[in-house]
Chains A and B, each alone.
Chain A
């Protein structure tokens, strides 16, 4: 053998060793690949060997494919990779054998209709597993009569902060429920006997807890309610004025609201007759004077020199919120009194009137709901500011009942939850504070 050929063979031998040791793949993600393999989330370290899955390869084809992998990965990595792949196959086989007993597999059979509800329930119970959730039923939240603010304030430190029934029940104190009979929603727009002092020329419009239309010491509410169609028109104009003061109510819209589903001609005729009746004696004069029929076919209520309890409530809420915590004694008295007066729902019984007049087919119900929400928000704001005032005056125990009721009525108010948590902490009720923090996911 020539020395040159001997040298070539020796070098080739060494080079073959290098080829068998050194991997020829990018190894930056090798650790992740091995980890995924050992967890059974991958089947192959890089890719399946050539010929895998395509029919039944011959022994020679397999040997060639494996040899290619050996040279590509280097023997150490090849051995490690094959061991990890075997482990992955084992893990996957085990997972596959356990799968038919798993919840997803049982549910899959249920979704496909192989097993019914009862069969699924039996299978899950046998494994000690909970059943899938039932259909959620919408909770009918009725507007409940608000509890008088005086009762909450007089509730004191020792009585109810830790009384769980307040959270579990409907929030109405039994005594109050007896003393203040609940309003009957069936009765159309109950009349509210209230008369805060105001100039005699003013029209006092009370909408919260019942309808009151007071002018010069006389309440025209009952008289108006005696004529449902007239009352509907007048109140609809009031609703539109309250929700969108700058919008005009066109006659066509009003006619469509009053008699939906009729031909436009009949609608206009009926509305014309009703407006004529309203302005010619059917409607009490102080109320008729407020109805303005403009030349541009629009109708509106003139609310100048009116005192509307909803607006008073909102103004008071805005004024108290602007104080940012500390309020004067007069303002506290005024806010408390107003809160107590305005405890009822906005136009209770509107639904009955609407049903009677147009079969509840109009859109006025949405306006009423919107205004009820506004009133509720204003009340909650007032309660929150009164509570903040009490906390600022180092009386957190008196603030707690207010905040509890406010938060119960509007559970999404994170600001109230924070105030209540602070009040709990100040009165040493750490467990309740922690519970509240968890329920409302408050950040510290």
Chain B
């Protein structure tokens, strides 16, 4: 709709401009012999050029007719997705933390699909698939995946002072090869996270952590213990103001290098607020994709769907974020 209006305005402006220019030059030619002579010299080559250009356009249009749209092919305006610029995690068993800047911004689904992408197409030392673990906050997606926050909660109630290797047994293996742990609303705190991360790092090749928002201590510990913290935003002013606050704190504490902004659900019709794009060094954009919502409802990782637009963006940022785990095979498939 907005695109059609913009197109109409452009046509009007150019039509008005054309009338004005033609009339002005025609009047000038009537009074100035030099202009008259120049027009007399130029009109024939101009006609030839117009004919040639029109023919070229017609030939190209005829040579490449519109294809029949295939399922998943975009029929609306696609947002322009800039190449991601994310820091590379090269530590053994890196920890990636996801922080949502506003509700329903897609942090759970991005975390889950990143883990699936790594499990599916990554390799460790070129000979085996990585073992990622993903800690997801309980919600609609975890319900669709059949995950339960109770086991982890009970574990922490019975292990108050220590987290041992048995926490690994609570993780549920997804058929893609990644493992999932469901985190209840008050299950995690800074101390528990600090105890749990080394244990998870010993057992897994990648730890993807969705950090519950609202607990400042937990957030600080998550930023401290993770290699990269991804701030998941939508192209809204609310996310913009939250991102600005994060950027201030990151620069104050010298953490700007390990923070990256992921703008999810980017659409061509919804311009990104400038406040969202300033302040942080690293940025990646994930396009709005109807495939995401339908697959999340089924608990299916959309990163395994060819027709998903978001898949390509996620694969690109996974390659950049985890170059050691995501190898050439991932590039080829993506």
Q: Which residues of A contact B (CB under 8 A)?
A: 3-4, 7-17, 19-21, 24, 29, 32-33, 36, 41-44, 46-49, 52-54, 62-63, 66, 68, 70-72, 75, 78-79, 82-83, 85-86, 89, 92, 95-96, 99, 102-105, 107-108, 110-112, 129-141, 363, 366-367, 369-370, 373, 411-412, 438-441
Contact = CB atoms under 8 A, between A and B. Distances in A.
A108 B305 contact: yes
B312 interface: yes
B50 A132 contact: no
B118 to A, nearest CB: 10
A111 B300 contact: yes
Contacts of A8: 22-23, 26
B173 A135 contact: yes
Contacts of A13: 43, 46-47, 50
A42 to B, nearest CB: 6
A414 to B, nearest CB: 11
Contacts of B90: 441
Contacts, number: 219
Nearest to B309: A41
A83 B69 CA distance: 18
Contact of A78 (B57, B80, B83): B57
Interface in B165-184: 165-169, 171, 173-179
Given A13-B43, A29-B80, A47-B77, A111 B176 contact: yes
Contacts of A103: 120-121, 329, 333
A102 B304 CA distance: 10
Interface residue SS majority, chain A: helix
A366 B21 contact: no
A256 to B, nearest CB: 15
A412 B198 contact: yes
Contact of A366 (B47, B82, B162): B162
Contacts of A42: 78, 80
Interface stretch (B123-131, B146-154, B231-239): B123-131
B81 A36 contact: yes
A132 to B, nearest CB: 3
Contacts of A92: 73
B117 to A, nearest CB: 8
A79 B312 contact: no
Contacts of A367: 161
A110 B90 CA distance: 30
Task: Tell which of B7, B73, B130 has the most Cβ of chain A within 10 Å.
Answer: B73
Contacts of B175: 107, 110-111, 132
A82 B130 contact: no
Contacts of A68: 7
A52 B333 contact: no
B74 interface: yes
Contact of B39 (A10, A24, A104, A373): A10
Interface string B91-134: 11000000000000000000000000001110100011111010
Given A10-B29, A32-B83, A136-B203, 8 more contacts: A8-B22, A53-B69, A66-B57, A104-B120, A110-B175, A132-B119, A140-B166, A367-B161
A44 B76 CA distance: 10
B333 A89 contact: no
